[in-house]
Amino acid sequence: MTKEKFGVAVDGEIMREVDELVAKCDDLGASRSEIVEAILTAFVHSEKNHSERAREIIIRKRKALSDWL
């Protein structure tokens, strides 16, 4: 399977959680990239409506940002 690379910007909380998962997978020598790919794979292969869930998260984050401003 061919892999594609792309850059992603995430907030600090997400980064901390990913780093925690990297630490918990220390015995596997897993990188941030592998952890993020595993999370995305689990998300995409779940039974949920992915586009609807992604939209909910985006709307919620944008609302929180606008409330803060």
* pLDDT for residue 33: 93
Q: How many Cα atoms are found within 13 Å in the side-chain-facing hemisphere of 68?
A: 6
Nearest to 33 by CA among 6, 56, 69: 6
Domain assignment present for 45: yes
| pLDDT, position 69 | 67
For the chain, the domain total comes to 1
pLDDT in tens, 5-61: 888 899 899 999 999 999 999 999 999 999 999 999 998 888 888 888 889 989 998
- pLDDT the model gives residue 66: 81
Residue 8 has a pLDDT of: 87
Range of the domain at 59: 12-68
Residue 3 is assigned to a structural domain of this protein: no
The answer to whether residue 19 sits within a structural domain is yes
Within-domain flag for 27: yes
Has residue 1 got a pLDDT over 80? no
